[in-house]
Amino acid sequence: MNRQIVKLFGFIVVLFAILVGFTSYWAVFDAEALKEQEANKRPLLEQQQIRRGRILAADGTVIAKSVAKGRGDERRFVRRYPEGSLYGHPIGYSFVREGDSEFEQFHNDQLVGEESEFSSILDELRGATQEGNDIVTNIDPAAQRTALEDLEAEGFGAVVAIEPSTGAVKVMASNKSFDPNRVPFELEQLNRNVIETPLLNRATQGLYPPGSTFKVVTAAAGLESDVIGPETTIDAPGTLEVEGQPLNNDFSEDFGPIALDTALTNSVNTWFGQLGQQLGNDQLFETMEKFGFNSTPPIDLPDDQVYESGVYGEDGPLSARDPVDLARVAIGQERLLATPLQMAMVAAAVANGGELMKPQIWKRVVDPDGRVSERLDPSEYSQPISAESAAELTTAMEGVVSEGTGTNAAISGVAVAGKTGTAETPSNRACGGGLDENQAWFIGFAPADDPQIAIAATVECTEAFGGDVAAPIFRNVAEAILNGE
């Protein structure tokens, strides 16, 4: 029997070696991934014992702060949001049980003062307590308030305002918003609310048909590829037969041969449909992708909370190789879906002479001693179009506001460039299934000759046109920003 006993012991040794192997895996090799798990509250619990840094608006308004509760070993910090739902998006929330989201999640390491492994060990030896850094954002409180109040008056939707030269995000409002202070008590109700979806940041997660605002991208592709010049005319009949279905202008109006200015000012579908067909898949998709389509926008929010814009097939955005109805993509229809952030990036790129800057919400990080430890260094994302094409496009977009579909966006004494959009969304369940529901859009920038702000505004489920509901929101928000400076 002795031989079997020795073998049995060998087997037991193998079993124990498996235990050591699994323990090593959890404790060391997989430890980092486990700490990232949503269900793992330990990192947050440890963090609540340090004072998390504040989040401030550009003017110093406190958006989020931590207050101490209890004392001694029991002392912990709880997050407070003095402005309530105004900054529900894009700031998000951070609580121990409920986890964190949006800006709070993305900038977590800075807010808790996370340092390199080595220096934190040194701190521990010195007995120093870890302290969080404050983050000052680019958000303009007056404009943010204007945007959210306007949206609340008009319906669900979003507004994004970006400073074209730096990519600084000055407004990101999403209606329906939520009060982060209520998250510990109502997270489940908020999650269950699939009609208002208050936790969804519509600015980055709302995928909407962009409608005619997308004509700016089509025009940019045309100019950039020299398929058209500013004077090139295309004959624009009232109706065009595309893929067996008629493509109409509003009221089937026949414009005859016209150039870009007239086509954009009157948002002529048959003109842009033909331009799209002349461009071809490769050219249109190349320009789209340079504007940021088919990628997660490079903003400082968690990747899973920022959606890609593009022509959505069964398995996500399609590429230039996939067959699409180019004429309808060119006028923002087909299966094309875009986020308000993406359309604001289009406006910002045109405004900035064709150079698209990375949109960023944060501005600077201030350490516990009051020193600025990091400062936003504006960086280029891409150069979708040349300065020349941008100038030509700007002229055309000015026509939209001065004499076209976007006159409601006009600001007295300031030249405004923009584009309206009204995508029909009949039988949309989110809108209650009505047949006359539209997705109303306005994108643009001001002043046209020296752009300080580029804005995308959109309203869901409205029976009105982009020029009637979205353009006034653009105007109010732009005024709030321009007056503040």
Question: Footprint of other proteins on this chain (CB under 8 A)?
Answer: 1-9, 12-13, 15-16, 18-20, 22-24, 26-28, 30-31, 34-35, 37-42, 45-46, 48-49, 69-70, 73-74, 76, 96-97
Asked if 94 and 79 touch (Cβ cutoff 8 Å), the reply is yes
Residue with Cβ nearer other proteins (70 or 378): 70
Query: CB 196 → other proteins: shortest distance, Å?
Result: 24
Q: Are 440 and 463 in contact (CB under 8 A)?
A: no
Count of alpha carbons within 13 Å of 419, Cβ hemisphere only? 32
Minimum Å distance from CB 126 to other proteins? Answer: 17
Q: Which is nearer to other proteins, 30 or 380 (CB)?
A: 30
Q: To the nearest whole angstrom, how small is the minimum distance from the Cβ of residue 187 to other proteins?
A: 12
Nearer to other proteins (CB atom), residue 24 or residue 245: 24
Where do we find the tokens 């400062």? Answer: 375
Q: Judge whether 206 and 457 are in contact, CB under 8 Å.
A: no
User: In terms of C-beta distances under 8 Å and separation of at least 24 residues, what long-range contacts does 9-12 make, across chains too?
Assistant: none
Q: Are 267 and 471 contacting, i.e. CB atoms less than 8 angstroms apart? A: no
Q: What element of type H or E holds 101?
A: none
Smallest separation, CB 190 to other proteins (Å): 16
Query: By C-beta, is 100 or 261 nearer to other proteins?
Result: 100
CB of residue 69 vs other proteins: minimum separation in angstroms?
7
| Cβ distance to other proteins smaller for residue 36 or 315 | 36
Neighbours of 444 (CB within 10 A): 34
Distance CA 76, CA 73 (A): 8
Looking at the Cβ atoms of 8 and 122, the one nearer to other proteins is 8
- Which CB sits closer to other proteins, 32 or 314? 32
Rounded to the nearest whole angstrom, what is the least distance from the CB of residue 108 to other proteins in the complex?
17
The nearer residue to other proteins, 2 or 412, going by C-beta atoms, is 2
CA terminus-to-terminus distance, the chain: 92
Closest CB 313 distance from other proteins, rounded Å:
29
Residue 461 φ/ψ region, left for φ over 0, alpha for ψ in the -120 to 50 degree band, beta for the rest? left
Q: How far is the CB of 30 from other proteins (least distance, A)?
A: 7
Q: How far is the CB of 348 from other proteins (least distance, A)?
A: 39
Select 97 or 375, whichever has its Cβ closest to other proteins. 97
DSSP string, 307-325: PPPEEEETTEE--TTS---
Q: Please, what sign has the CA dihedral across residues 210, 334, 439, 103?
A: negative
Min dist CB 99 to other proteins, Å, is 11
Q: Residue 127: which H helix or E strand, with range?
A: none
Give CA angle at 81 (80, 82), nearest 5°.
110
Sheet containing strand 453-462, strands side by side: 169-175, 157-162, 453-462, 438-446, 417-424
Q: How many CB atoms neighbour CB 123 within 10 A? A: 15
Q: Cβ(175)–Cβ(157) under 8 Å?
A: yes
User: Judged by CB, which is closer to other proteins: 26, or 185?
Assistant: 26
**Measured torsion, CA atoms of residues 473, 102, 108, 346, in degrees rounded to the nearest 10:** -60
